[in-house]
């Protein structure tokens, strides 16, 4: 599909851009850029994910000022599904979120 009033240079630049996008997609498919690129492991179940919740879950965590990085499903277990914890999860303390910065282009 050629556009009218498009110079030779514009046309070449447009073709080059399309080529680059296609090449990037191909690389991803071939595993040159793995699907889990930039992901981190949950400290409780070791599953690699794009989003981790930083929190403390036990007396030891508080004593050692140790933070866990947990995935969504582990977070539900340690917090009871409440951001600030509930009565059954007295040692739970929320400390922030970690997101995979390489997933900005995720659809």
Grouping H, G, I as helix, E, B as strand and the rest as coil, residue 41 is strand
Stretch that binds Zn ion, among 37-45, 58-66, 87-95, 99-107 (CB under 5 A): 37-45
HSE-CB for 65 with a 13 A CA cutoff: 0
* Segment holding 95, helix H or strand E: strand 93-99
The DSSP bridge partners found for residue 52 are: 98
Structure tokens at 104: 């900005």
Minimum gap (Å) between residue 72 Cβ and Zn ion: 8
| # residues contacting Zn ion (CB under 5 A) | 5
The DSSP bridge partners found for residue 14 are: none
* Choice from 13, 17, 21, 45 touching Zn ion (CB under 5 A): 45
x/- contact string, 58-77, with Zn ion (CB under 5 A)?
-------------x--x---
Q: Which residues bind Zn ion (CB under 5 A)?
A: 42, 44-45, 71, 74
């Amino acid at each position: 599909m050629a556009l009218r009033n498009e110079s030779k240079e514009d046309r070449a630049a447009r073709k080059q851009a399309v080529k680059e996008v296609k090449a990037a997609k191909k690389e991803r498919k071939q595993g040159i850029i793995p699907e889990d690129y930039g992901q981190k492991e949950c400290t409780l179940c070791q599953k690699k994910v794009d989003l981790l919740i930083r929190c403390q879950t036990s007396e030891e965590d508080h004593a050692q000022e140790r933070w866990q990085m947990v995935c969504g499903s582990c977070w539900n277990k340690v917090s009871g599904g409440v951001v600030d914890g509930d009565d059954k999860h007295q040692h739970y303390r929320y400390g922030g979120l970690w997101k995979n910065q390489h997933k900005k282009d995720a659809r």
